[in-house]
């Protein structure tokens, strides 16, 4: 099959500039004055009339003497996008040149896989597990209120070194489920409904269907439908909020070591015919994270984009927040949580447990919480989206790297496509 070549041009708000060569066959990335980590990038390729019958996309980074293959993957959605991760970090003022072709003979190797088992969808990079999204109903702890059962959450989250970073159903909060995001104080058709505190018997969140799971050379992921169920509705349980949860994972090399980049996107739809009030409260919605029991007052640290620490972060606004603790083996691991600038209340309020919240242990709970300072209203017929990225690492991460990662994530490229 004859290969066809295309050019991609555009501009990166985060310091990248893309411009076309005279022969209109290449992608040129020109960096600004700062080092840019090798993180996921994407390009709208609708203008290339892509369809799978044309062959696999193949991307090359070019230098003076050779072509270096760069893994790429097409996301076929309402608009087709090409995803790729540069094969090295981009130095200050460096230019990178790429070429895109469609090759009918190219084979596809799925680096990130999504595997469905009896209870969960497991995202992995080769033999390294990244996370489990639990779609089955996880039972309540033995002898406890059956209302503590739950589905539709992430646990475990693993570091690249396979340390477990989350926990579920801790004895101090049986309703805590790894990474999850129910709303707390809401008003649905005049009734107060708490979807977070399950023992109040007012509501819950449940998995309601798998919309898709994908494996690929660049990312693996899942799309799930979740329902926020109102137990107080006249006539029985009714769905108050429909949620589409999109989770995708990438394997990157940042600071010259492996890290995961995990995109967590929540799309909310009011399922009633009246506005739903999400009342101001210190926690609820957004992105909640209950850390492993290995993280405690002795080893767990917090640093936000504004320089706040575990002592004073809670209630402040942040673009990103780095949470780190022990890996259970004498080392450390952590997560940099990035809030997208399009999110409500960005820079987004955070809720962080100081060391004295859990007096016996100093355990960690963190949340980006869009209703921490002000309430919110979900109107019927409207769509509301919250976007987050988690950078998962072993060891430590430089705050300058965390800032660069936030800039790269929250200022996506504005790209034009030309044949």
Can you give the CATH number for the domain in which 315 is found?
Answer: 2.70.98
Which among 61, 78, 106 is the end of a domain?
A: 106
Domain with residue 65: its CATH number is 2.60.40
For 340-380, the pLDDT digits (tens) are: 999 999 999 999 999 999 999 999 999 999 999 999 999 99
Is residue 128 within a helix (H) or strand (E), and if so which, with residue range?
strand 128-134
Which among 83, 106, 129 is the end of a domain?
A: 106
Whether residue 165 is found in the same domain as residue 34: no
CB atoms within 10 A of CB 281: 19
Whether residue 262 is found in the same domain as residue 281: yes
The reply to whether 226 falls in a domain is: yes
Whether residue 159 is found in the same domain as residue 202: yes
Whether residue 101 is found in the same domain as residue 117: no
The reply to whether 415 falls in a domain is: no
Q: How confident is the model at residue 26 (pLDDT cuts 50, 70, 90)?
A: low
The pLDDT mean for the chain works out to: 89
Domain that holds residue 45: 4-106
Which among 45, 71, 106 is the end of a domain?
A: 106
The reply to whether 417 falls in a domain is: no
Whether residue 221 is found in the same domain as residue 240: yes
Whether residue 69 is found in the same domain as residue 210: no
The pLDDT assigned to 284 comes to: 96
- Average pLDDT (392-412) is 91
pLDDT at 136 over 70: yes
Strand order of the sheet with strand 112-116? 112-116, 120-125, 128-134, 153-157, 179-180, 287-290, 365-368, 348-352, 317-318
| Overall number of domains in the chain | 2
pLDDT over 70, % of the chain:
89
Whether residue 266 is found in the same domain as residue 357: yes
Maximum CA pair distance of the chain? 72
For 266-319, the pLDDT digits (tens) are: 999 999 999 999 999 999 999 999 999 999 999 999 999 999 999 999 999 999
The reply to whether 419 falls in a domain is: no
């Amino acid at each position: 099959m004859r290969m066809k070549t295309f050019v991609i041009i555009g501009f990166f708000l985060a310091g990248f500039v893309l411009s076309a060569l005279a022969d209109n066959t290449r992608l040129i990335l020109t960096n600004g004055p700062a080092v840019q980590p090798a993180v996921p990038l994407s390009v709208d390729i609708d203008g290339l009339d892509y369809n799978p019958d044309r062959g696999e996309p193949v991307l090359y980074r070019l230098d003076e003497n050779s072509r270096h293959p760069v893994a790429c993957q097409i996301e076929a959605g309402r608009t087709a996008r090409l995803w790729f991760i540069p094969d090295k970090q981009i130095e200050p003022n460096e230019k990178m040149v790429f070429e895109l072709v469609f090759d009918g003979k190219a084979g596809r190797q799925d680096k990130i896989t999504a595997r469905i088992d009896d209870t969960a969808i497991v995202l992995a990079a080769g033999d390294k597990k990244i996370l489990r999204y639990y779609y089955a109903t996880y039972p309540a702890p033995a002898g406890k209120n059956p209302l503590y059962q739950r589905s539709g959450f992430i646990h475990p989250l693993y570091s690249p070194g396979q340390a477990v970073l989350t926990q579920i159903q801790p004895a101090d909060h049986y309703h805590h489920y790894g990474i999850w995001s129910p709303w707390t104080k809401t008003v649905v058709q005049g009734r107060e409904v708490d979807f977070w505190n399950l023992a109040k018997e007012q509501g819950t969140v449940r998995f309601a269907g798998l919309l898709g799971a994908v494996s690929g050379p660049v990312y693996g992921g899942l799309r799930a439908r979740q329902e926020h169920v109102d137990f107080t509705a006249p006539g029985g349980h009714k769905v108050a909020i429909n949620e589409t949860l999109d989770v995708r994972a990438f394997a990157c090399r940042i600071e010259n070591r492996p890290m995961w980049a995990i995109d967590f996107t929540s799309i909310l739809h009011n399922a009633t015919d009246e506005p739903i009030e999400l009342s101001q409260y210190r926690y609820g919605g957004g992105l909640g994270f209950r850390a492993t029991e290995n993280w405690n007052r002795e080893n767990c640290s917090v640093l936000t984009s504004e320089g706040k620490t575990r002592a004073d972060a809670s209630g402040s606004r942040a673009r990103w927040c780095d949470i780190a603790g022990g890996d259970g083996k004498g080392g450390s691991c952590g997560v940099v949580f990035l809030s997208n600038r399009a999110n409500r209340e960005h820079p987004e309020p955070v809720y962080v447990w100081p060391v004295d919240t859990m007096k016996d242990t100093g355990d960690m709970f963190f949340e980006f919480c869009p209703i921490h300072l002000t309430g919110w209203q979900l109107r019927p017929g409207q769509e509301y989206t919250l976007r987050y990225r988690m950078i998962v690492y072993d060891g430590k991460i430089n705050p300058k790297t965390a800032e660069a990662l936030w800039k790269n994530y929250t200022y996506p490229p504005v790209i034009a496509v030309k044949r």
